[in-house]
Chain A
Amino acid sequence: MPEQPVITDEMRSIIGVESEPISEVVERGAIRRFAEAIEDTNPLYVDEVYARKTRYGGIIAPPTFLCSIGHLRKSGRSGGDLFDFKRPYPNGRNAGTEWEFFEPVRLGDTITMTASIVDFYEKQGREKPLLFTVSELTFRNQLGQMVAKLRSIGVSFPD
C-alpha cells in the first residue's frame, strides 16, 4: 500500500479559512485568577483604585491573558473544534508563540477572536517525523479595534 501523505487534501483545503468568531466578556475574576496563576503581582490587574489613577483609567488584563479567550473551544478538546480536520498524529505540543499587541484589554471588554490555519509543514525530528501547524488568531474588542494578533506554532508527532 502506498504511504499516506501526512498533509492531506482535507488539511490543505482549510488553510486560510477563517473560523467562526468566539466572543467572551473579560471578567474581573478571570483577570485576577490569571494574574495570580502567573504570579504577577502588578496592581494594575487587580486594584481598581490604583488602576484608575494610571493612564489606563482602570483595570486591564496581563498581555497574554488573551490566550484564555475561547481556549476550550479552540483546542478541540471539548465543546467543539475550530479547525475540523482529521489529525494525522495524536501528540501535540506548543512550539512557539508570536504576539503583536495593539490595544490594552480592559475589564468588561468583549473580545472576539477569529482564527485560521495559515500553514502546515513537516520536518524530520531526531526520533520522529514532526508536523508543524501555524495558526493566526486575531482579537478585537467591542469597539472593533484590533487588540492583538497571535501567531501560534504547534508541533505534533506520532506515538
Chain B
Amino acid sequence: MGKALYFEDIVDGMEVPTLRKQTTAVQLVRYAGAEEDFFEFHINEPYARKLGMPRQIDQGFLKNAFLAQLMTDWIGIEGRLKKLACQYRRPSYPDQPSLCKGKVTRKYEQDGQFLVDCDVWIEDGEGKVHTSGTATVALPSREALIRRIEEGAPD
C-alpha cells in the first residue's frame, strides 16, 4: 500500500489515481460465486444473447466494488470510506477496459472528522462513462495530530 494520505494533502479538483480494471467472463463467474448472485445474464452468454444483449454484462455490484477499491487504495489504511453512491448508467462487458477515476469536489471538517467528497466514475476504453457517483472519505489530519500531541504533552 502507498503512503498515508492526510487531509492537508487534499486540494479541490485533485484527481484520484486511476484504478485500471478489465473484467473477464471467468471473473464474472467468480464474482457471482463470491456474492452468491446467480442472475444468469452475468454468467451465461447464450442466455444474455437471448435477452438481446451483445454478451453477458458486468455485475453492478462488481463495479461498485471497483469504485470502493479506487477510494481505499487512494486513502490507505488510515483513511476510511464513509459513503459511496453510484448509478449504473449503461451496461459494461467483459474484456473491455474499465478505468475507475475520481476527483475531489470538497474538503471540510465536520463533527471532528476531516472529510473529503469526490466524484467517482468508470469509463470504458473509449472514454464513455458507464458508472458514476460520489464518495466521501475521512482522512487523518496532520494538524489535528500535532495539536493533540501538544495538548497532551507532559511539561
Contact = CB atoms under 8 A, between A and B. Distances in A.
Main secondary structure of the interface of B (DSSP, over half): mixed
A145 interface: no
Interface stretch (A13-21, A60-68, A105-113, A136-144): A60-68
Interface stretch (A1-9, A88-96, A117-125): A88-96
A10 interface: no
A86 interface: no
A62 B69 contact: yes
B110 to A, nearest CB: 14
Interface in A69-100: 71-72, 75, 77-78, 91-100
Nearest to B134: A98
Interface string A19-53: 00000000000100110111110111000000000
Nearest to A30: B34
A97 B39 CA distance: 17
B21 interface: yes
Nearest to A68: B35
Contact of B30 (A33, A43, A68, A92): A33
A54 to B, nearest CB: 5
Contacts, number: 105
A37, A40, A68 — which one has the most chain B CB atoms within 10 A of its CB? Answer: A37
Given A42-B1, A93-B60, A101 B81 contact: yes
Contact of A100 (B61, B78, B83): B83
Interface in B60-97: 60-62, 64-66, 68-69, 72-73, 77-78, 80-88
A64 B61 contact: yes
A62 B83 contact: no
Contact of A38 (B65, B80, B88): B65
Contacts of A36: 30, 34
Nearest to B61: A67
Main secondary structure of the interface of A (DSSP, over half): mixed
B8 interface: no
A19 to B, nearest CB: 17
28 contacts: A30-B34, A33-B30, A33-B34, A34-B34, A36-B30, A37-B33, A38-B62, A42-B73, A55-B78, A62-B72, A63-B68, A63-B81, A67-B35, A68-B35, A75-B37, A77-B38, A92-B39, A93-B88, A94-B60, A94-B61, A96-B133, A97-B61, A98-B84, A98-B85, A99-B84, A101-B80, A101-B81, A101-B82
Given A96-B60, A98-B85, 19 more contacts: A42-B1, A42-B69, A43-B1, A62-B69, A63-B65, A63-B72, A63-B81, A67-B64, A68-B34, A68-B37, A72-B36, A75-B37, A77-B38, A98-B86, A99-B85, A101-B80, A101-B82, A101-B83, A153-B87
Interface of B: 1, 21, 27, 30-31, 33-39, 51, 59-62, 64-66, 68-69, 72-73, 77-78, 80-88, 133
